[in-house]
Amino acid sequence: MRRALLLALTVALLPGCGALTPSDGGHSAKGPLQVWIMEPGNPELRDFFTSATGEFEAAHPGERVAVQFVPWASAHDQFVTAIGGGQMPDVAEMGSTWTPEFGDIGALEPAELAKTGSDDGADRFVSSLVEGATVDGTVYGVPWYAGARALIYRTDVLASLGLSVPTTWDELVSVGRAIRDRTGMAAFGVAGNAAHYVLPMVWQNGGEIAYRKGGVWRSGMSSPEAIAAVQFYADLYRTERFAPGGALSWNARDVRKAFEAGDLAMMIGGAWDLRPLLSAHPELAGKVGTALLPAGPSGERDSFAGGSHLVVFSGTKKAPTARRYLDFLLDPGRVAAFTTKIGFLPGARDALAAATPADPLYRTFSAQLEDHSRTYPPTREWGAFEADGLFTAAVQQVMAGKRTAAQAMKDVAKTMDAAFGG
């Protein structure tokens, strides 16, 4: 259904087929600026937006803003439906892997990254976040906030065993074996339903998830580097038994719960995991450390740079107000206040530098994002790959021993290439 809707939208928006024209009830010159923000999940963050809206209206007399909170789980389909029915908001928070999808079909206005007197403005932001909003040289989203997962581990457990923090895949295996054999804990959070854990390992092994060839995207998941990365990840579960049997269906939240419960010694996670974890379990204070992800054989230790862009929808009759509202939300002080509450980091380099925590426990996440992060291929098809569980379903088969990584990744690559077309 999702792909059919997007196909219909794509056809409708192809050059020569007419511009995106909202139906009655869509964009309107009258009424408030319509803004969609992803459901923040707690009253404190809702209050933040209520307060921010009031501040904006006070600073811009005569301009009104209506904020609607959209659940993450249904947001992608809600955007698709809104575009199809001409009921788009004027401004929205967009998951970073969705921005290319909707920008490519003509649903988004090109973003304005530059400040007055600067060049194109792209250098203002973390490069991976700009790359993730770019299609054929056009940027469709302004980086708002982001985060990158690093290694979170129990310092007391490693110290008790005389172990150092693993910095490579080989060291991850040797440290994991010592934990497995000498403690009652699971060594490492291998999760079957966590694409953001396994896909970056393709980069760490020197491979590409997808690449451009002759102007067309092609899958890199059947390459020797990608196959070896997936097999390595699966073997941490199936052969090394670093995680319990139930981890085959675990997602990132399940991994965090196991770590919180004292059942897990090492995990992949972000500051958004660490803050609530330590808040809920003060007994872990001083017993948790962070480090950059272990480097693969290629020497790379890249993580996925996830987060949100701020976008303006095509056809808005409130473009000047929309731009002013984006600038308002992107004020460094306001971004810092918001990101601190959610455990993410600003997407702008100057704001990121100002927001870098003094606490080395959290400083790791800044370094991982700025120096060791990448974005997934910015294609319109990526959102469907994620939503359909293309990668996780295949990885689970390998973890369960039902297929080899080579067999599973051959089919993944075939599905990706069929979607890319060309």
Mean local confidence (pLDDT), 384-388: 88
Residue 45: pLDDT band by 50, 70, 90 thresholds? confident
Domain residue ranges in the chain? 2-147+304-362, 148-303+378-420
Most confident of 219-233, 269-283, 371-385: 219-233
Residue 32: burial class (beta carbons within 10 Å; 0-12, 13-18, 19+): middle
Task: List the one residue out of 114, 83, 68 whose CA is nearest residue 315.
Answer: 83
**Of 59, 85, 58, 129, residue with least CA distance to 306:** 129
Residue 9 pLDDT: 46
Q: Looking at the domain 148-303+378-420, which fold is it?
A: D-Maltodextrin-Binding Protein; domain 2 (3.40.190)
Identity (one letter) of the amino acid at 242?
F
Write the DSSP assignment of 257-294 as a string of letters. Answer: HHHHTT-EEEEEE-HHHHHHHHHH-GGGTTSEEEEPPP
Decide if pLDDT at 422 tops 70.
no
Q: Tens digits of per-residue pLDDT, 311-342?
A: 999 999 999 999 999 999 988 888 888 887 77
- Cα separation, 395 vs 409, whole angstroms: 9
Mean pLDDT of the residues in the chain? 88
Q: Minimum mean pLDDT among 10-24, 146-160, 321-335: which range?
A: 10-24
Q: φ and ψ at 30, to 5 degrees?
A: -100, 165
Among 8-12, 53-57, 173-177, name the one with the lowest average pLDDT. 8-12
**Is 3.40.190.10 the CATH classification of the domain at 2-147+304-362?**
yes
Alpha helices (H) in 247-381, listed in sequence order: 252-260, 271-280, 319-329, 332-342, 349-355, 360-371
Q: How confident is the model at residue 139 (pLDDT cuts 50, 70, 90)?
A: very high
Angle between helices 224-238 and 195-204 (to 10 degrees): 130
C-alpha to C-alpha distance for 66 and 39, rounded to whole angstroms: 14
Summarised one tens digit per residue, pLDDT across range 234-252 is: 999 999 999 999 999 999 9
Residue 186 pLDDT greater than 70, yes or no: yes
Q: Do domains 2-147+304-362 and 148-303+378-420 have the same CATH topology?
A: yes
What percentage of the chain has pLDDT greater than the value 90? 65
